[in-house]
A and B are shown apart, each in its own frame.
Chain A
Amino acid sequence: MQKRSRRRPPPPTRRLVLALLAAACAAGQDDDSGGDDSGLGDGDRARGAILYREHCAPCHGLSGEGGVGPTLRDWDRGVASLVATIDQTMPTQNPAVCTAACADDVAAYILAELTGDACTLGQAALAPRQLRLLTRREYDATVRDLLRLSPAAAGGPCGVDADCELAAESCVAGACAADPCGRHTFIFSSAQAHSSVHVAGSFNGWPATVAAGGWSMEHVPGDNIYYTKRDLPSGAHTYKFVIDEADWIPDPSNPASEPDGFGGQNSLLQLTCDGDGAGPLFAPARDFPVESRPKGFEYDNNAAAGLVTATHVDKQLAAAAEVAELALTRLDQLLPCDPLPDPAACADAFLGDFGARAFRRPLSPEERAKYRDLILGEPDFSAGVGVALRVMLASPYFLYRSELGEDQGDGGARLTPYETASALSYAFWGTMPDDQLFAAAAADQLRTPEQIEAQARRLLDDPRARELVATFAAQWLGVEPLRSASKSTNLHPEWSQELALALIEETRRFVAHVVFDGDGRYGTLLAADYTFLNSALAAHYGLAAPPGGDFALADNGPDRAGLLGHAAVLANYAHSDQSSPVRRGLFVRERLLCQHFGTPPANAGGVPEVDADATTRERFRQHSADQSCALCHQYIDELGFGFERFDAVGRYRQLENGLPIDPAGDMNDVESMGAGTNAPFTTLPQLAQILAASDAAPACFARQAYRFTMGYLEAPHDLCGLAAVESRFAQSGYDVRELLVAIATAPSFTLRR
């Protein structure tokens, strides 16, 4: 072996690598994975796992199941042959990358963990113990529940809006409810009575009168105010108040303004929403750093990537102070006792309730003493509560949800009842457990699959599950970035962030509807002949606007089918000025079928030049003409061409550059690449049927939901459990709700190693 010249390099850096090495050494001692006796060669399988993911998984699959390259799970030619093959020929694009020790390590990993029956692996077949940092959305939802700020909990009785906190709440069905994100309240205080006050601005065309479209402000005589609530898109807006349809004045309560060009000032309003549609009232994590998503993991909640940097700490502490400040204004609701007679007893009572909810488990006696001291250490009880709250909210016990479990005596661990309660609430609601889950944990009623299933079904029946499933779908489909996507101003002048947000909202509403109001079937997500439209979306699609203009269920027309026809998907997997068969093909392969590709070879071409005399299909022909490109692109482009009826913003088109479009696509090798099957289609409804009828697409959906729930990319140790989950999903007729229950009741949900 001529190439075997490099020596195994010393470990690069400290921390995780050292930890991995230590773990690897320990593993070597414990289960004798080391020497040649095992038939695995002398490689280091822990190191091999890292190398495998980097260099081999793109073609052979994360678990050796195969992809562009063949499966490895049935390798039966022994270790020497495997090492030699890797050393001399792999990876095919660049065999020099993995030689010598690398080949030994990878071979050891493949033989130890990828070949054979995943269900016989025993202890190794368990997910690792982990700490899961709350994501921004989880943090915000959690503090809202912790402070009992959610509309259902906070809503005092009301008759009119003015009975509520007018700037942020409305009176809905007799209770104060938080306004959704994007709803702005204009308030004008004036002791005088006016015949009319209205808002005129960049959002409504600066009308001089109410009749011309000015937003009339309602008078609340008792409070001496005029107000109106309006839904506004994110972005900058300028406006004035118009008194008696004569006097134009800037908003006295808004210090931000800019010159109006006439020697006066316009008030300036800058709005940003989280983009998840109806959103949080109180969102102190809004400025936390963006979550890092490892390649191939499409969700915001990857446990390993949840690292706390100095920026996190700074913002977490600031947010903790902010939450504490708000909590102190609600102390009458959060404090179960009067501190005056016996401050220590009241502190204990507070910690027994609020403290346990913050840490999502009861405090230990030491913790209780510590936090009691913090409360009583301040001259004033409520100030002490404030300090204790700030510590709690920056404590790792609040910031991470623990999946460390309790030792089972066999080297494995099992989530505690309280950890299980959190695992359930974050899986189904994206927030902390409610009182019933806490009660079940306290009574040790979260142990058997039946007990967990009963809770899972209860959680699924709550509206919060709708939101969570919609969020999962938006991340699974990858459409969230659309809100900041740019489109060609020449070709698509109608494109706006407002339209993008509406498109994402369409997808969220549609998925929530199918899963919770419709038949719940995965196939319906792909093939439904309906969607949700408001008037702006109806105009975008060229479909009839729903009555009233608000989002409503509507026919999606003959050319579209389910999610495949959503303009959010079609526009997101396109460039600013043109469609993209590659991105759309990859979308189906990677997100819908869980089939992955390696990185393109050096010298890979980019997007072919724009050519006004050619169709996109013609421009991309190079990919199939060039052998090295065709290796992967035969699976990408032939499929992606089937979307060519839809332009860069997802609108249907008859012609491209005045030329007729050939919409023929081929969903080849739908079950596994290399199989050599063909499935031609010319419309999206046909493609939807092909996918819905396949085994691979629903199995991939199960895998995606599993990743989102578990917070890591599945590894070989998950395959056995995943197969059982997929089988339950299939038995249910691919009912998404049953899938979610199956994941929660699988052993992998609560067992760790």
Chain B
Amino acid sequence: MIFPKRQNMSVKTADSAPPSARHHGRRRLLQGLGLAAIAGPFLHLARGRSAAAAPAKAARVIFFYFPDGVVGPSQDGEPSLWHPTGGEYDFALSPQLEPLAPHKSDCLFIRGLTMGPADQGSHPGGAKKLLTAVDGGNGEGIDHYLARTVGASAPFRHLYLGAMANAGNASGDKFISYPSPGQTITPEDDPRAAFELLFGSGVMGQGGGGPDPTQVTVIDGVLDDMHALRARLGELERAKLDLHLESLRELEGRIKAGPSGTCDDPSVDFSAVTGDLYDPAKFPAILRAQTDLMVQAMACGLTRVGVLQSSNHTSELIMSRFMGAEMYDPNFDMRSHQASHYGPRHDPSKREYADYLAQRRWWVTQFNYLLDQLAARPDGEGTMLDSTLVLLCTEVNDGNTHLHDDMPFVLAGRGGIKPGRLLDYSGQRHAGLLAAIAQAMGADLSAYGDTQTPALTGLLA
């Protein structure tokens, strides 16, 4: 009797790929090639290049989500401590945003946007509207809209990576990515599996030889059955099968195109990502690996639309277990959501408040790391940061009040926008920001969301 390599238990080893024998491509690259080792030589490119080199359109977009809001306006009416203060060009970062100082000139700090009244005051309500701008999440998310329009020609139209985002059998309203109205998908939480998906299946250069003819036969055969079934379906199930069909066509495109990536040595440091992927002490390493993967995938031309979801709202993530972080405390469990309810006032003597501030700074630091990585990679005349838009977002404004007004958005990059400014759009819908991002990507979208809000003006200049 012969048994498969993959058995009832997976035997994963610290220095080799997942156990599957099905891909052979880039396994060796999993072996301890730290990203820093290749990023180093390019770091100088990030500084001192002219903003004039920035392209008119952004080639890619990344939505970087973290849970449970920020220190916004307090319940007692103290003003938001998130937004920078000052004028459009002359402003000072808040303590929460201070970790972004190295990239201050790469960011548009946006204040005043509202996500609308629906479910105002709740985490799930905010998560549903965040990328859909539709009440109750009953719309297609902007990430999926972009994936099937300007992102459709990429080998992967959409890349949804998570760090402990599936923790606790999370219900659908904890995910921010809506391919269809009311329906979320779940992200890939395992960096090794994500690496395998992106770089293990022959998309990256495996020499010449063209597409694997058997794979083409298989996909053609499946498509044939898909069409036959689709013809028998009513509207609702047909919509479901259409999404499946688009997914198949995407893979078909990848396979027929053959190796289409434009870089040779994808490498991500997985050395700290072993064992239980839901051990909070490992969160920083997992998020870093997923961030590196996202950048790597984009650098290699594999995708143009990415969503990076950290944990999920009302998060039980014990952030006090992040070794080396400001809020590290091995003797006390401080969870994200626990800290977010710091009470009615901005009271620094309260442990929750102090931890919450430190946690928010930690998220901003991770965002800053993502910008570092983009800035470290050349792209055309400039760097990837010049040609990528990155939106920092969370589902509520203040963690204590859960309000959906004056949302804490930061949009980084240069493609199609003019960063280094503080903009105030008081009372306007965030749908306009999502539409503006789409336009900056070159999409033909004049308005967005259930209010059909026109794209915000003024992001470019």
Contact = CB atoms under 8 A, between A and B. Distances in A.
A603 B400 contact: yes
Contact of A131 (B186, B240, B321): B240
Interface string B396-423: 0000111100000000000000000000
B105 interface: no
A192 interface: no
B139 A13 contact: yes
A576 B338 CA distance: 11
B274 interface: yes
Given A19-B236, A271-B10, A50 B138 contact: yes
B292 interface: no
A318 B22 contact: yes
B118 A236 contact: no
A609 interface: yes
Contact of A309 (B185, B190, B235): B185
B7 A17 contact: no
Contact of B181 (A16, A53, A97, A284): A16
A484 B275 contact: no
A714 B419 CA distance: 49
B181 A490 contact: no
A178 interface: yes
B4 A282 contact: yes
A602 interface: yes
A156 B139 contact: no
A167 interface: yes
A157 to B, nearest CB: 12
Interface stretch (A393-401, A422-430, A458-466): A393-401
B426 interface: no
Interface in A663-686: none
Given A50-B136, A317-B219, A404-B237, A12 B181 contact: yes
B20 interface: yes
B186 A292 contact: yes
Interface stretch (B90-98, B221-229, B261-269, B370-378): B221-229
Nearest to A319: B22
B53 interface: no
A122 to B, nearest CB: 19
A311 B15 CA distance: 24
B80 interface: no
Contacts of A397: 225, 229
B244 A308 contact: yes
A396 B244 contact: yes
Interface stretch (A205-213, A272-280, A726-734): A272-280
Contact of B401 (A18, A128, A258, A602): A602
A263 interface: no
A584 to B, nearest CB: 15
Contacts of B333: 486, 488, 575-577
Contact of A256 (B16, B276, B338): B16
Given A10-B452, A370-B221, A318 B201 contact: yes
B125 A283 contact: no
Interface string A650-662: 0000000000000
Interface string B1-12: 111101111111
B399 to A, nearest CB: 8
B457 interface: no
Nearest to B277: A484
Interface stretch (B43-51, B107-115, B167-175): B167-175
A268 B250 CA distance: 38
A488 B330 CA distance: 9
Contacts of B343: 605
A710 to B, nearest CB: 15
B184 interface: yes
A15 B1 contact: no
A168 B221 contact: no
A142 to B, nearest CB: 16
A305 B172 contact: yes
Contacts of B236: 16, 19-20, 23, 128
Interface stretch (A320-328, A344-352, A552-560): A320-328
Given A94-B120, A130-B237, A313-B244, A270 B13 contact: yes
Given A314-B251, A317-B215, A374-B221, A309 B166 contact: no
Nearest to A321: B22
B145 A13 contact: yes
A94 B247 contact: no
Given A272-B12, A283-B6, A606 B338 contact: yes
Contact of B12 (A16, A270, A306, A599): A270
A419 B401 CA distance: 50
A54 interface: yes
A388 B275 CA distance: 37
B248 to A, nearest CB: 5
A22 B122 contact: no
Contacts of A604: 121, 402
Contacts of B460: none
Interface in B237-279: 237-244, 247-248, 250-251, 274-279
Contacts of B23: 318
A15 B243 CA distance: 9
B24 interface: no
Contacts of A603: 75, 121, 400-402
A182 B233 contact: no
A304 B180 CA distance: 10
A745 B4 CA distance: 40
B28 interface: no
Interface string B47-75: 00000000000000000000000000001
Given A23-B235, A317-B251, A484 B276 contact: yes
Interface in B321-339: 321, 330-333, 335, 337-338
A20 B228 CA distance: 23
Contacts of A96: 117
Between A164, A274, A320, A609, the greatest number of chain B beta carbons within 10 A of the residue's beta carbon is seen for: A609
Given A309-B243, A490-B331, A603-B401, A255 B181 contact: no
B93 to A, nearest CB: 27
B180 A599 contact: no
Contact of A329 (B2, B181, B335): B2
B280 interface: yes
A290 interface: yes
Interface in B172-193: 172-173, 175, 179-186, 188-190, 193
B340 interface: yes
A312 interface: yes
Contact of B222 (A23, A168, A395, A478): A395
A310 B247 contact: yes
Contact of A609 (B11, B280, B350): B350
Given A13-B140, A576-B318, A602 B403 contact: yes
A478 B232 CA distance: 37
A325 B4 contact: yes
Given A130-B237, A576-B316, A322 B251 contact: no
20 contacts: A9-B452, A20-B236, A51-B135, A54-B119, A129-B237, A179-B8, A255-B16, A270-B13, A273-B8, A310-B156, A321-B22, A390-B214, A397-B229, A404-B233, A484-B279, A489-B330, A497-B276, A600-B121, A605-B343, A607-B337
Given A256-B16, A602-B120, A602-B121, 18 more contacts: A9-B452, A50-B136, A50-B182, A131-B237, A269-B13, A270-B275, A281-B8, A289-B185, A292-B183, A293-B170, A318-B22, A325-B4, A387-B221, A478-B169, A484-B168, A497-B276, A602-B401, A606-B337
Interface of B: 1-4, 6-16, 18, 20, 22-23, 75, 117-125, 132-136, 138-140, 145, 156-158, 160, 166-173, 175, 179-186, 188-190, 193, 197, 201, 214-215, 217-219, 221-222, 224-226, 228-229, 232-244, 247-248, 250-251, 274-280, 316, 318, 321, 330-333, 335, 337-338, 340-341, 343, 350-352, 400-403, 449-452
- By Cβ-Cβ distance, the 5 closest A-B pairs, closest first, are A606-B341, A602-B121, A256-B13, A484-B278, A391-B221
